[in-house]
Structures are given as C-alpha cells and as structure tokens.
Amino acid sequence: MKTTANARFSTRICVITIAASIAAAVATGCGTADEGNASPAITTLTETEVSATTITSPPAQDSPATSPLSQATCDVDTAMIDSAIAQIAPPMPGSGWVEGESNVNTCASLTYVTLDTQGGTVSSPYQLLLFHDGEFLGTGTACNLSYQTVAATADDRIDVRYRYITGDEPNADPQGEVYVSYYWNGSGVDMLGELPEAITRGEC
C-alpha cells in the first residue's frame, strides 16, 4: 500500500510538471506569434521641390556714337564743307586748308568751321566758314587773316579774337588783340565790331 501511494504521488507530480511545461510553452509561443504578427511601422518620406531663382542681368545699353567734326549733323556734312572750301582762296600758294574747330553738331542758328593752313604755324592764315540751317553763308572776313581764335559762342552769335603785331615782338607772341562778333540777324550775318588795319593790312 505504501508503495502504491508513492507511485501515485510521483505520477501527479509528473502530470503537474508536464502541464506547467505545456502552459509555459503555449504562453511563450503566443508571445512569439504576437510579436511576429505585429505590423512594422511605415515611414512616409515627402519630397519637396525647391524652385531655383534665376537672376537675369538687364540688357546692355548701347552708348551713342560720337561723330567726328567732319561728319557734321544739322545738314552740314563733309561734302558741304568741302564745297565751301573750294569757293575760297587758298591760304597761300602751294598750301591748302584743313578743318579745325567746329560747332556744326550743336544745331545752333549760326554755326562755324575754322580752317587752318595745312602745315602752317601760329602766324599762318586762318579762315572762318559760317552756316545757317545747312546753308553756307560765306566767311567771317573777305580775306584770310592770321591769329584767329573763336572765343565764345551762343545760339545766334560767334565771338572771335584776332591778334596782331604791335611792335618788335616775335610773330609767335603778338601783343595786339581785338574781338568781333558775327551775329545772325534772322536773314543774314552782321559783324559787330571793327578790325584795325594792322590785322587786315588793307586787304579786306
């Protein structure tokens, strides 16, 4: 009887142990299954387009071209100046005229072109061509004179300085001077002032 009781007791312990092991295994298996069936987290990436800003430089501005004096505006061109030169006497035998200063590109009522002796010196002859609205009016003086310089201009007036020898000073440094003005009166040119005979030498 004692032996049988011990056997039954051992059997109960074994059954309880097996049942506990099965329960633990089931619990463990369920835990593993739950973890295996868990849905993974999904990360969504959003792409944002960045528009590039383009800087456009302003178009380059063309600078106005500067015309030489011989390419005059206001209807006074090279051909007209050459035609005017052909109508007056040369500065001296064997020499010709070359263009000097001018204001024909100002479109003033009275404009001018100075003429210098080609290859000349300060005491060589000069001349002054006068124009109005593209028309050649004539020269400042009837004869070619030395030491001529345009001193100032206005829309209807040209002031000119003439120098002359007064004594024994060198030709390059005359001490006498006088100013005259050529004035557009609306229909022609008046000379305001007088030139002494020391300048004109009685020729004009």
Q: What is the pLDDT of residues 60-109, one digit of tens each?
A: 444 433 334 444 447 788 999 999 999 999 999 999 999 999 999 899 99
pLDDT the model gives residue 75: 75
At 3, the pLDDT band (50, 70, 90 cuts) reads: very low
The reply to whether 132 falls in a domain is: yes
- Of 98, 198, 114, which Cα lies nearest the Cα of 153? 114
* 69: in domain: no
Q: What is the DSSP string of 49-78?
A: --PPPPP-PPPPPPPPPPPPTTS-STT--H
- Please report whether residue 178 resides in a domain: yes
Taking residues 159-174, report their average pLDDT.
Answer: 96
6-21 mean pLDDT: 38
Q: Is 130 among the domain residues? A: yes
More confident residue, 21 or 86: 86
Q: pLDDT tens digits for 105-146?
A: 899 999 999 999 999 999 999 999 999 998 999 999 999 999
Instruction: Supply the pTM of this predicted model.
Output: 0.64
Spatial separation of the C-alpha atoms in residues 20 and 22, rounded to whole Å = 5
Cα 65–chain centre separation: 10
Does residue 165 have a pLDDT over 90?
Answer: yes
Percent of the chain with pLDDT over 70: 64
Tally the domains of the chain: 1
State how far the Cα of 198 lies from the Cα of 200, in Å rounded to an integer.
Answer: 6
Q: Is residue 139 part of a domain?
A: yes
Better-predicted residue by pLDDT, 2 or 133 = 133
Select, from the ranges 17-26, 30-39, 67-76, 167-176, the one with the highest average predicted confidence (pLDDT): 167-176
Q: What is the mean pLDDT of the chain?
A: 76
Q: Does residue 183 form part of some domain?
A: yes
What range does the domain containing 147 cover? 78-200
28, part of any domain: no
Beta-sheet pairing, 125-132 with 157-164: unpaired
Does residue 73 sit within a domain?
A: no
Question: What confidence score (pLDDT) does residue 152 get?
Answer: 98
What is the distance between the alpha carbons of residues 111 and 74, in angstroms, rounded to a whole number? 10
